[in-house]
């Protein structure tokens, strides 16, 4: 009942001067060829994809962070658990964090069981996400190919490929000749600087348009009544008797029955507001794109040995990434030495790309855990939850992370898929160290 009153207040405020806005709780306009034609003929303005309401005094759930993970959490809270009195608080703009800064690769080519099942579930959600959200997220299953350069890597790739198959995940080993005939630009000659012995391919891996993911979840969550509030930074937590009861923000205090943290590179800072110290280090990861060219690369190629990966976007740009900057930082920008490293690796593998010009480079903040796996679950303060610690690869986790985070918040217990990704595992010695790299966050 209280919820209804709040909605009426809010609707009348929002709709005063904005006749084209939808009412919360009403399904979003269906995107289709018919609505496209209808709008072209009527010349009406398209309704905004989501509202921009003023924050209410209290929500059942407040989700901090308007990236893919926060928005997906809110969407599944509303859709699956019927919890619609939810706000997503974003300090900047939707997708302006790592969601809009990543290289868009999705895959589930993991060896360890918790990772394999979790990321495979995510990949399954990606496969139908455009239909689910009625928003084209441009999932492109173009394959993700991990190059193998040494006999040691060959053993590891075979082991991982077999483990993937045993877990029902698609995996295929390609010989050097098969790779050479598929990707003619790749230098597969035995005399190349990093000779290629073969490669492990996950055919269903690929890319997804990153900002469409944030917008699609935002639109669908808004249609279910979720308040999405941008330019609203959380600056503190209200904690009473060991339980979180709300957040302090740049737009005033907001009460909350439960709070979920989904802030990627800022997890440590936000958890600290509740007095929690996370086993996370924050580092900068950079990416860059070339000028756009005609299609030359129809898969994602990665090389662990040189830490380089590349794909071609639908706009024609070659999207490239490399390793961390290796010093702790909250700067969302990179530096020249890493750019040089990435370009060097690119030219060693794809010599003909040396004729291209680099168009843009950028950086994002990665929250690197001590074992390379995420933390998704309850925190030591009652009614406080988090999904974070994504290291290099949280974009591909977005749908599954939102799904299980919402589940954990709604039921106050983990979903089987995130049961192992607890914060306590670090104290209990149950780490999920996929790489076997040890407690060195920069090494995962």
Site string for ligand FAD, 174-193 (x = CB under 6 A): --------------------
Closest separation between CB of residue 175 and ligand FAD, Å?
A: 26
Closest separation between CB of residue 437 and ligand FAD, Å?
A: 18
CB atoms within 10 A of CB 179: 21
Asked if residue 409 binds ligand FAD (CB under 6 A), the reply is no
Closest separation between CB of residue 216 and ligand FAD, Å?
A: 13
Closest separation between CB of residue 141 and ligand FAD, Å?
A: 15
Please, are residues 254 and 53 in contact by the beta-carbon 8 Å criterion? Answer: no
Contacting range for ligand FAD; rule: CB under 6 A; set: 1-9, 102-110, 353-361, 429-437: 102-110
Q: Which is nearer to ligand FAD, 89 or 223 (CB)?
A: 89
Options 25, 96, 141, 316; binder of ligand FAD; rule CB under 6 A: 96
**Distance between CA atoms of 266 and 285, rounded to whole angstroms?**
14
**Distance between CA atoms of 340 and 346, rounded to whole angstroms?**
10
Asked if residue 396 binds ligand FAD (CB under 6 A), the reply is yes
What are the distances in angstroms from CA 388 to CA 23, 33, 299, 418?
32, 38, 28, 12
Give how many residues touch ligand FAD by CB under 6 A: 39
Closest separation between CB of residue 405 and ligand FAD, Å?
A: 10
Contacting range for ligand FAD; rule: CB under 6 A; set: 35-43, 86-94, 186-194, 218-226: 86-94
Please enumerate in sequence order all residues whose Cβ is within 8 A of that of 223, keeping only pairs 6 or more positions apart, or say none. Answer: 22, 24, 25, 26, 27, 28
Task: Output the six-digit token pair for 359.
Answer: 């168009």
Q: Which is nearer to ligand FAD, 286 or 303 (CB)?
A: 286
Options 11, 132, 233, 341; binder of ligand FAD; rule CB under 6 A: 233
Options 390, 403, 407, 421; binder of ligand FAD; rule CB under 6 A: 390
Closest separation between CB of residue 108 and ligand FAD, Å?
A: 11
Residue with tokens 């977005």: 398
Q: Which is nearer to ligand FAD, 188 or 388 (CB)?
A: 388
Contacting range for ligand FAD; rule: CB under 6 A; set: 49-57, 88-96, 128-136, 433-441: 88-96
Asked if residue 73 binds ligand FAD (CB under 6 A), the reply is no
Closest separation between CB of residue 286 and ligand FAD, Å?
A: 6
Across the beta sheet with 280-290, the strand order is 172-175, 198-202, 144-148, 300-303, 308-312, 318-328, 280-290, 358-369
Please, are residues 99 and 210 in contact by the beta-carbon 8 Å criterion? Answer: yes
**Distance between CA atoms of 399 and 396, rounded to whole angstroms?**
8
Closest separation between CB of residue 96 and ligand FAD, Å?
A: 5
**Distance between CA atoms of 59 and 228, rounded to whole angstroms?**
12
SS3 of 128-188: HHHHHHCCCCCCECCCEEEEECCHHHHHHHHHHHHHHHHCCCCCEEEEHHHHHHHCCCCCC
Compute φ and ψ for 176, nearest 5 degrees.
-60, -40
Closest separation between CB of residue 172 and ligand FAD, Å?
A: 21
Q: Which is nearer to ligand FAD, 96 or 203 (CB)?
A: 96
Contacts with ligand FAD in 363-382 (CB under 6 A)? 364, 366
Contacts with ligand FAD in 51-70 (CB under 6 A)? 64-70
Please enumerate in sequence order all residues whose Cβ is within 8 A of that of 133, keeping only pairs 6 or more positions apart, or say none. Answer: 75, 216, 217, 219, 220
Measure CA of the first residue to CA of the last residue in the chain; give whole Å: 49
Asked if residue 394 binds ligand FAD (CB under 6 A), the reply is yes
**Distance between CA atoms of 310 and 308, rounded to whole angstroms?**
7
Closest separation between CB of residue 408 and ligand FAD, Å?
A: 15
Asked if residue 78 binds ligand FAD (CB under 6 A), the reply is no
Site string for ligand FAD, 254-293 (x = CB under 6 A): --------xxx-x---x--------------xxx------
Please, are residues 426 and 412 in contact by the beta-carbon 8 Å criterion? Answer: no
Closest separation between CB of residue 351 and ligand FAD, Å?
A: 24
Q: Which is nearer to ligand FAD, 188 or 342 (CB)?
A: 342
Among 294, 268, 291, CA closest to 281: 268
Residues that bind ligand FAD (CB under 6 A): 64-70, 89-92, 96-99, 101-105, 233-234, 262-264, 266, 270, 285-287, 321, 364, 366, 390, 392-396
């Amino acid at each position: 009942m209280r919820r209804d009153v709040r909605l009426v207040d809010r609707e009348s405020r929002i709709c005063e001067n904005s006749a084209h806005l939808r009412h919360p709780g009403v399904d979003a306009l269906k995107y289709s060829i018919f609505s496209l034609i209808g709008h072209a003929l009527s010349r009406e303005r398209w309704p905004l994809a989501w509202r921009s309401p003023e924050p209410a005094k209290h929500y059942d759930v407040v989700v901090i962070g308007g990236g893919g993970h926060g928005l997906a959490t809110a969407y599944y809270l509303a859709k699956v658990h019927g919890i619609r009195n939810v706000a997503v608080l974003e300090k900047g703009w939707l997708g302006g964090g790592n969601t809009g800064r990543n290289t868009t690769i999705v895959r589930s080519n993991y060896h360890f069981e918790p990772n394999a099942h979790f990321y495979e579930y995510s990949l399954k959600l990606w496969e139908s996400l455009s239909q689910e959200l009625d928003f084209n997220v441009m999932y492109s299953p173009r394959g993700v190919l991990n190059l193998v350069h040494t006999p040691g890597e060959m053993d590891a790739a075979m082991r991982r490929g077999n483990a993937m198959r045993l877990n029902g995940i698609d995996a295929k080993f390609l010989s050097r000749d098969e790779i050479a005939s598929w990707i003619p630009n790749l230098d597969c000659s035995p005399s190349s600087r990093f000779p290629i012995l073969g490669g492990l391919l996950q055919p269903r891996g690929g890319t997804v348009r990153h900002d469409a993911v944030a917008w699609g979840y935002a639109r669908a969550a808004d249609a279910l009544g979720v308040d999405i509030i941008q330019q609203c930074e959380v600056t503190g937590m209200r904690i009473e008797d060991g339980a979180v009861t709300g957040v302090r923000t740049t737009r005033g205090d907001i009460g909350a029955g439960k709070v979920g943290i989904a802030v990627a590179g800022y997890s440590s800072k936000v958890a600290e507001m509740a007095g929690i110290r996370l086993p996370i280090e924050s580092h900068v990861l950079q990416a860059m794109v070339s000028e756009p060219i005609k299609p030359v690369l129809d898969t994602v190629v990665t090389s662990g040995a040189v830490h380089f990966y590349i794909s071609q976007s639908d706009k024609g740009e070659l999207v490239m990434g490399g390793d961390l900057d290796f010093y702790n930082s909250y700067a969302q920008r990179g530096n020249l030495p890493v750019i040089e490293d990435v370009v060097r690796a690119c030219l060693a593998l794809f010599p003909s790309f040396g004729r291209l010009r680099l168009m843009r480079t950028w950086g994002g903040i990665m929250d690197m855990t001590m074992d390379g796996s995420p933390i998704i679950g309850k925190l030591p303060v009652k009614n406080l939850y988090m999904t974070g610690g994504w290291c290099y690869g949280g974009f591909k986790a977005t749908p599954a992370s939102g799904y299980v985070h919402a589940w954990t918040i709604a039921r106050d217990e983990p979903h089987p898929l995130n049961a192992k990704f607890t914060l306590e595992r670090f104290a209990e010695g149950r780490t999920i160290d996929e790489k076997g790299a040890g407690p060195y966050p920069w090494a995962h």
